[in-house]
A and B are shown apart, each in its own frame.
Chain A
Amino acid sequence: MGQAAAFWIMAVVIVGAALAVVFLRNVFRAALLLILCFIGVAGIYITLSADFLAAVQILVYVGAISVLIILAVMMTRGGMQKGNPSNKLKIPAVIVGAALLGILIYAVTTSTWGISTQEPLTDTTAPLATQLFSENGYILPVLIGATLLLAAILGAIVITRENPQNKENKK
């Protein structure tokens, strides 16, 4: 009962916030509603008894990625004249989106899932750590992910750095 109520509240919040992100005129408000959507997804993780992932969602998405996006919205102010217009692909995009949604819902509702009767783990932090860092686990992907993050940060710095030659030309 409690799970059902939480699921429906979070679902309405997520879908409403996602629609607002797409259709709002004001880009800054769209970024704020994107944060609301991330918080709703964290709530969904809690209803699925994935407590560690909910915490990570709050830390990474609500804490870090949303700050980056808001920073980008503020730094690119003046880049768009009319806020959030749509391009010429509106009708094809509606068709593609609706078709994909129909196919997905049809596939999801008609297939039979091998749902387990076991109770899900309620405290996932220690088992997740065991999975990630044990010798038979995912230690190599973890290291590759760390390298990827480092490369991405270095790449972001290099890309956004002012080109010294351009500076000379401006002078």
Chain B
Amino acid sequence: MIGLTHYLVLSAVLFCIGLYGALTRRNAVIILMCIELMLNAVNITLVAFSSYIVPQLLTGQVFAIFVMVVAAAEVAVGLAIILAIFRHYKDIDIDNINLLKW
């Protein structure tokens, strides 16, 4: 029987894969993809809590919708920044884009 724990563990695994990718990859687009993976993991958690703990209230699903709204805004602005960087440096390797490092 599939319980709440299964969903939470799946979401934890997905989140950690995304975290590892976001920390280690050097391609900026891949890093954005990994952030999307982490946001999806959070959404799975919210929906699982919603349907197991307050099945009649849907609060978690409302939260998941807001996470999706913010994720869409984030990916639009993030990709715009990556495109602007690429146009300027002809490079999307994060290790080479160290303008803000000191």
Contacts and interface: CB of A to CB of B under 8 A. Distances in A.
A143 B65 CA distance: 13
Contacts of B36: 34, 61, 65, 69
B73 to A, nearest CB: 4
Contacts, number: 246
Instruction: Determine the interface band of chain B, counting residues with CB < 8 A from chain A.
Output: 35 or more
Interface of A: 3-4, 7, 11, 14-15, 18-19, 21-22, 27, 30-31, 34, 37-38, 41, 44-45, 47-50, 52-53, 56-57, 60-61, 64-65, 68-69, 71-73, 75-76, 78-80, 83-87, 89-90, 92-94, 96-98, 100-101, 104-105, 108-109, 113-116, 118-121, 124, 127-128, 131-132, 138, 141, 145, 148-149, 151-153, 155-157, 159-160, 162
Interface of B: 1-10, 12-21, 23-30, 32-34, 36-37, 40, 43-44, 47-48, 50-56, 58-59, 61-62, 64-66, 68-77, 79-84, 86-87, 90-95
